[in-house]
């Protein structure tokens, strides 16, 4: 039997579109699904985990929409699938950039490299499908080293993507909540990051996160059993975050509210510490990324449920994060044009929207993907 072409999301017509599609593969009819004469791999048939894109594709194909409407939605989904996200993590030496990356994302499948340019070979590059993480070396180990690292950061921040937009979508600046010595980080934010982006873009693209919150106040006010700060430490962290916020605002005019968290780490010969407020950090990262790019994170979130159990309970970060991805469904895939049963408030988190039909189905697919990770 002649082999049929397999594509990751090739359910579009006319057939002429397929020639330009990335990620084309070859195979047989086994484990394939078909739409308008085009075959695509059905991961469920092989017992493999489906990506968020495959789940959304499946919902659209199985909907009762006319083929022309399916094609429109699949075309939009294809455009979203091609979007890439680039996140940079910066900060002083020893603040926990690597542990933060490992806690947030599924690093076991990451491809490890260095900067695309020889000039930025000190910046580590981790690729997870359409998500790329740029881990910069720690600052504060010496003037000459800091100057070299800063030059590399500036080059990377001014790099453009294939659409001539800034390559880096979000910069997460990690500070140590347990120390008063934050001068190096303030210089990085005030003298490097904000000038590179400009005030308007800096407000959207820069996140400040205070790691190792469990070790602040010498760790004496951390409730290990509940994995959370006691009231004394909670108040201390609140004041610490406000102090950092004011310091940045006084120096630049930019108002950035820091996030206090704990990435979790393993002491020498000790047990793995549990993360705290990682859900909050993830939510703000998702919020900072353009809607059309957010799904690139969905398949790469760390699946260890313990990472997402503990937070400050100021709001439901899990639900807000899910809704952040569902907004991509609403705005980018369905073009905000669907009407139907009144499920929008529950699934999409968009007050006043009346959403149903295929939009409700694909939004439900997003919810289902995260339920296995976020539900305790």
Element (H, E) at 261: none
pLDDT per position as a tens digit, 4-21: 333 333 333 323 333 343
Has residue 225 got a pLDDT over 80? yes
What's the pLDDT band for 362 if we cut at 50, 70, 90?
low
Task: Please give the C-alpha separations between residue 213 and each of 47, 109, 203, 245, 279, in angstroms, as whole numbers.
Answer: 41, 28, 24, 16, 15
Report the distance separating Cα 163 and Cα 84, nearest Å. Answer: 11
What pLDDT is recorded for position 276?
97
Alpha helices (H) along 216-294: 231-252, 278-288
Q: Which residue has the higher pLDDT, 44 or 230?
A: 230
Which string of DSSP letters, residue by residue, matches 5-70? EEETT---SSGGGGGG-SSEEEE-STTEEEETTEEEE-GGGGTPPPPHHHHHHHHHHTSSS-HHHH
* Average pLDDT value for the chain: 79
Q: Can you tell me which residue has the tokens 């639900």?
A: 319
Has residue 99 got a pLDDT over 70? yes
What pLDDT is recorded for position 237?
97
Burial class of residue 95, CB neighbours in 10 A (0-12, 13-18, 19+): buried
Which string of DSSP letters, residue by residue, matches 201-226? HHHHHEEEEEE-GGGGGGGTTEETTT
Q: Percent helix, strand, coil in the chain (nearest 5)?
A: 45, 20, 35
**Phi, psi values for residue 361, rounded to 5°:** -65, -45
pLDDT per position as a tens digit, 61-79: 888 888 888 898 899 999 9
What pLDDT is recorded for position 294?
93
What pLDDT is recorded for position 51?
84
349 Cβ neighbours under 8 A, 6+ residues apart: 319, 320, 322, 323, 326, 327
| Candidate from 7-21, 115-129, 229-243 with smallest mean pLDDT | 7-21
Has residue 114 got a pLDDT over 70? no
What's the pLDDT band for 360 if we cut at 50, 70, 90?
low
Name the residue among 300, 28, 285 with its Cα closest to residue 171. Answer: 285
For residues 67 and 227, the answer to whether their CB atoms sit within 8 Å is no
What pLDDT is recorded for position 357?
54
Q: Which residue has the higher pLDDT, 369 or 321?
A: 321
What pLDDT is recorded for position 292?
92
Q: Which residue has the higher pLDDT, 119 or 318?
A: 318
| Candidate from 49-53, 94-98, 193-197, 219-223 with smallest mean pLDDT | 49-53
200 Cβ neighbours under 8 A, 6+ residues apart: none
For residues 212 and 96, the answer to whether their CB atoms sit within 8 Å is yes
What pLDDT is recorded for position 4?
38
Alpha-carbon dihedral of residues 332, 335, 341, 347, nearest 10 degrees? Answer: 20
Q: Which two tokens stand for residue 336?
A: 């905000």
């Amino acid at each position: 039997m002649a082999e049929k072409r397999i594509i990751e999301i090739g359910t579009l017509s006319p057939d002429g579109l397929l020639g330009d599609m990335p990620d084309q593969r070859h195979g047989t009819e086994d484990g394939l699904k078909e739409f308008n004469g085009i075959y695509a791999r059905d991961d469920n048939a092989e017992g493999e985990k489906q990506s968020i894109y495959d789940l959304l594709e499946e919902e659209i194909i199985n909907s009762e929409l006319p083929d022309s409407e399916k094609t429109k939605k699949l075309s939009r989904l294809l455009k979203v699938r091609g979007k890439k996200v680039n996140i940079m993590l910066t900060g002083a030496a020893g603040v926990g950039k690597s542990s933060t990356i490992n806690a947030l994302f599924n690093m076991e499948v990451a491809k490890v490299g260095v900067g695309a340019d020889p000039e930025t070979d000190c910046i580590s590059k981790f690729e997870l499908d359409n998500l790329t993480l740029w881990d910069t070396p720690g600052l504060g180990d010496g003037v000459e080293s800091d100057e070299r690292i800063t030059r590399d950061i500036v080059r990377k921040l001014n790099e453009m993507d294939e659409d001539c937009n800034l390559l880096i979508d979000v910069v997460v600046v990690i500070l140590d909540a347990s120390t008063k010595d934050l001068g190096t980080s303030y210089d990085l934010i005030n003298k490097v990051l904000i000038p590179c982006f400009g005030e308007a873009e800096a407000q959207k693209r820069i996140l400040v996160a205070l790691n190792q919150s469990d070790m602040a106040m010498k760790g004496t006010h951390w409730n290990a059993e509940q994995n959370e700060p006691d009231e004394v430490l909670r108040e201390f962290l609140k004041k610490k975050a406000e102090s950092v916020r004011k310091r940045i605002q006084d120096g630049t005019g930019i108002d950035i509210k820091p996030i206090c968290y704990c990435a979790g780490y393993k002491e020498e010969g000790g047990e793995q510490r549990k993360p705290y407020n990682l859900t909050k950090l993830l939510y703000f990262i998702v919020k900072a990324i353009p809607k059309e790019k957010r799904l690139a994170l969905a398949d790469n979130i760390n699946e260890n449920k313990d990472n997402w159990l503990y937070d400050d309970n100021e709001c439901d970060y899990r639900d807000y994060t899910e809704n952040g991805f569902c907004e991509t469904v609403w705005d980018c895939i369905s073009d905000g044009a669907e009407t139907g049963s009144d499920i929008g408030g529950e699934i999409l988190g968009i007050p006043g929207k009346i959403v149903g039909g295929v939009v409700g189905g694909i939004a439900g697919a997003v919810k289902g993907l995260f339920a296995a990770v976020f539900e305790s």
